[in-house]
Structure 1
Amino acid sequence: MTEGKAATPRDRAATEDRIVEAARQILVEKGPAALGINAVARAARVDKQLIYRYFDGLDGLLAALGERIAAWWVQRLTDEAPGVAPSSYPEMVEQLALRLLRVMRTEPLARQSLLWELADTAGAVQPLIRARSRAMVEWSQRVRGDLVPPAGIDAPGLNALIIGAVSYVALAEQNARNVAGLASSDPANWDRIEQALIRMIRGAYRLE
């Protein structure tokens, strides 16, 4: 299926959406190595020239997909387990970590984003990796307000380790029957992991 030069703005928007969604599906199902102009054109059922016309090629398409994924991340982090606004910086980190874990456990796109980050040695999906980081920063800015880390705490270093731990256990659940010895099929173990995550954050930020 192709579009002529007389496409209306609505037609163009619909086609752009179809192209971006086709690229996302290829990445989720086959990974970055399978992504290319020809593959996206086939999946979207469009002439590949439209991808060049609308996105200036693969880099522009990945940038558009990155924007969509960033918006998706912000929405999921906002929707997941909404609750009382945090009253302190450590509480904000705790909320982010728990929401991130729950999103990664339930959303294939979230887990796949992590795999792209680990496996993309050529840097093809760097816009998507940056989109995930940007989304977490945007969520934090929305809820942070005037909250600041406790004095003497290396918040960026701690947060990097916390996010790394969350990422590992989410991926381990997908690919193994246990997470560091805990059966991943037992919901009680995920309650234990969440409680341990809370204690780890509070201990690191000297709240316990």
Structure 2
Amino acid sequence: MEAQLTEARPRDRAATRQRLLEAARMLFGEYGYTQVTVRMIASAADANIALVGRYFGSKAGLFGEVLAGEPTVRAVVEGDRAGLPRRLAEYAAERMSHDPESPILRSLERSAGDPEIQALVRERLLAVMIEPIAALLGGPDAHARARMATAVFLGLGSVRRLVGPETPSPADVDRLTAVFELCLGLESLP
């Protein structure tokens, strides 16, 4: 009987941890990081408040875990260097045509300036976008060029959130491709 209880605990822990992640994702997405409390998350997950600290260290640690589970642009960055501007433009255009599917992306819009999570957001942006683009680019100022393209990409998302979704035309995709080519400085690289 004792073996059965021991075996049940890890599943309960995993299930509780998952409930906390799901509750945090929902609440952060709806209210933003600053407005959500650990108590709110624990209550929504039907879990003890102390478990947030045990499993994630802090509210910021929990936010980091939620952020780590969000989609990335990895598939867009993978591929040949010359095709990167077009891939970025097509991906950005596709995202412009519908509301953000991720509540965490909406939360980041409201909460990225919060001192508790600024480092997490910065690390995530570096890891999933800037560093992979810089590595693909190589050459002089690769990091600065990757930051410029990332700024354009994120700016497009901000406009979509403020103005609403709009389906870009093929000419819009061509213009975005040209903008990304300039940002990435590919015309000057061998």
If the length of structure 1 is used for normalisation, what is the TM-score? 0.67
For 1:135, give the aligned amino acid. Answer: V
Structure 2 residues without counterparts, runs of 5 or longer: none
Correspondence for 2:114: 122
Stretch of structure 1 that moved more, 104-113 or 128-137: 104-113
Structure 1 residues without counterparts, runs of 5 or longer: 178-183
Q: Is 1:199 paired with 2:178?
A: yes
Higher relative contact order (CA 8 A, sep 6+): 2
Stretch of structure 1 that moved more, 163-172 or 51-60: 51-60
Distance in 1 (alpha carbons) for counterparts of 2:10 and 2:44: 22
Correspondence for 1:170: 157
Distance in 1 (alpha carbons) for counterparts of 2:39 and 2:32: 15
1:172 Cα deviation after fit: 1.0
1:136 Cα deviation after fit: 2.2
Identical amino acids, percent of aligned pairs: 19
* Pairing 1:11-90 to 2, within 5 Å after superposition: 11-69=12-70, 72-73=71-72, 77-78=74-75, 85-86=79-80, 88=81
Distance in 2 (alpha carbons) for counterparts of 1:25 and 1:56: 19
Aligned-CA RMSD value:
3.4
Stretch of structure 1 that moved more, 125-134 or 9-18: 125-134
1:63 Cα deviation after fit: 3.4
Q: 2:143 aligns with which of 156, 161, 171?
A: 156
Distance in 2 (alpha carbons) for counterparts of 1:134 and 1:111: 16
* Pairing 1:88-167 to 2, within 5 Å after superposition: 88=81, 91=82, 93-94=84-85, 97-98=88-89, 101-102=92-93, 104-105=95-96, 106=98, 107-109=100-102, 111-112=105-106, 114-116=108-110, 119-126=111-118, 127-136=120-129, 140=133, 148-150=137-139, 153-167=140-154
Output one character per residue of 1:55-102: Cα deviation in whole Å (capped at 9) or x when no partner. Answer: 233233233224323xx32xx542x6x99x31x3xx264256236525
1:155 Cα deviation after fit: 2.5
If the length of structure 2 is used for normalisation, what is the TM-score? 0.72
Pair 128,163 (structure 1): closer, same or farther in 2 beyond 3 Å: closer
Find the residue that maps to 2:166 and give its secondary structure. coil
- Checking the alignment, whether the CA contact within 8 Å between 1:24 and 1:65 is kept in structure 2 is yes
Number of aligned residues = 178
Find the residue that maps to 2:138 and give its secondary structure. coil
Pair 34,148 (structure 1): closer, same or farther in 2 beyond 3 Å: closer
